[in-house]
Amino acid sequence: MPSTKHAGRSELLLSRRQIERLIADGRSIIIVDQRVLKVDAWMRFHPGGDKAIMHMIGRDATDEVNALHSAQARKQMERYRIGRIEGRWKNFLPPIQGGRFRAYIEGCQETDEEEEEEEERCQSSSESSRTPSPVFDIEEVSSIRRRDLSRRDMSSASSVSSIPDEDDGMTFFDAKTKEHIDLDLTKYPSLDPATQDEVVRKYRLLEKRIRTEGLYKCNYSAYAIESCRYTFLFCMFLLCLRLEWYGTRHMGITHGFNTDTVIGILIADFIGGLSLTWWKRNHNVHHIVTNSPEHDPDIEHMPFFAISHRFFESLKSTYYERVMTYDAFAKFVIPYQSYLYYPILLFGRFNLYRLSWEHLLLGLGPKKGPAAWHRYLEIAGQIFFWYWYGTQKLVQQFCSEVGIPYALYGFVDGSKEVIGRLHEVGRQAAILAKCQRTIAERGDILHGH
């Protein structure tokens, strides 16, 4: 009897408006293969960390789930199924990224019929209406920016003395960012639904081909060659040591979650001194919200580095849950970051040690579920360490077919890209500081008269 009830509930057809209301009520809803999953109860047990799920709330997570989870894990997700959807799903902006959702408003329809028109009417009448994201809602933000700029122009025309208050020097950088966005939009496939659906279709064909050709399976015979290579290198190491010349997580080995994790911990923690689960938690979020200043921890290096002028606004990191303040020290360092890149990088590993210990001591990883015990093995590995002192061509072909640029850099070209970007943003920081000084001086003169 309960199973029949559960089956009936899981077949319930949910509208976009109903799902929005669930998220507004604080539910964690994701879409996988047209199924609606409510994963509130699982989030604290998720081996990949809760942040990864937070960034998928309200979104179609089909490809992410299929790429990162085993068939057994995907089967277990059925227990969280509360219904299904029909047709193409239009992603919401997750709450962690600033998305807002409407609770029930009397008079707003619950069906999908003419939903977009009804949504606009309901949106305008709700105080919790969804706000645009500077990262994901490019067109909406551009429109808001244009309206904001027009208001600034009108204000400057009517009152010169209002310039110091209205223009903080960021307008120029916002325009530059829009130029970069427009340039990217010309290089990458169109964002219209038909084009994006075609990209998704070809991606799934690529994934199926890789799986069919067995490229996800570990080539154990290759370990014989690798063993010979590493044995040779180890012998050379011993030789150099004798002559007093002082001088290894994507579950790709056994495909067993705990087995591969233990192997990774033995290498990362016991030999390298770095936390594997910290890297996993960090890297999962990086792949979901790649290069998003507010969300991607891989690019949040304030006050030493800034890869976007948006860091000048003292953004709040949703990963670290703190404000990355653009303080006096950052204002001094950032203009010279392209020159300080390698000197600071010399100390980068010490920061990784700090982040690893912070992750383990504060228990930022899973505290319950199948990955809970990994933390204690890692702590043992850290203590031991301190005491002991081929799918690329297929992906290139896929990128070529759908029109996505495939970037492949060596050390020299990669360094040029990184340092060039640091130099550009550093120059912007210097311009911003000069602009603010000029505005302040001009404001004093104008107010003096």
Domains of the chain: 2-124 (3.10.120.10), 216-389+405-428 (no CATH)
Number of other CB atoms surrounding residue 231 within 10 Å: 10
Give the three-class secondary structure for 86.
coil
pLDDT at 67: 87
The whole-number mean pLDDT for each consecutive block of 10 residues of the chain, a chain of 449 residues, reads 49 91 95 95 89 94 90 91 93 93 67 52 44 42 44 44 51 81 85 90 90 84 86 82 56 72 85 88 89 90 91 91 93 93 88 91 87 90 80 82 83 84 88 84 57
pLDDT at 153: 47
Which pairs from 153-158 meet CB under 8 Å and 24+ separation? none
pTM of the predicted model as reported, rounded to 2 decimal places? 0.57
Q: Is 183 exposed, middle or buried (0-12, 13-18, 19+ CB in 10 A)?
A: exposed
- Nearest Cα residue to 31 out of 105, 23, 181: 23
Q: Rounded CA gap, 77 and 57, in Å?
A: 15
pLDDT at 56: 94
pLDDT single digits (tens) 50-98: 999 999 999 999 999 998 888 899 999 999 999 999 999 999 999 999 9
Q: Rounded CA gap, 286 and 266, in Å?
A: 24
pLDDT at 168: 57
Give exposure, 64-94, as e/b (b: 16+ Cβ within 10 Å).
Answer: bbeebbeeeeeeebeebbbbebeeebeebbb
pLDDT at 187: 86
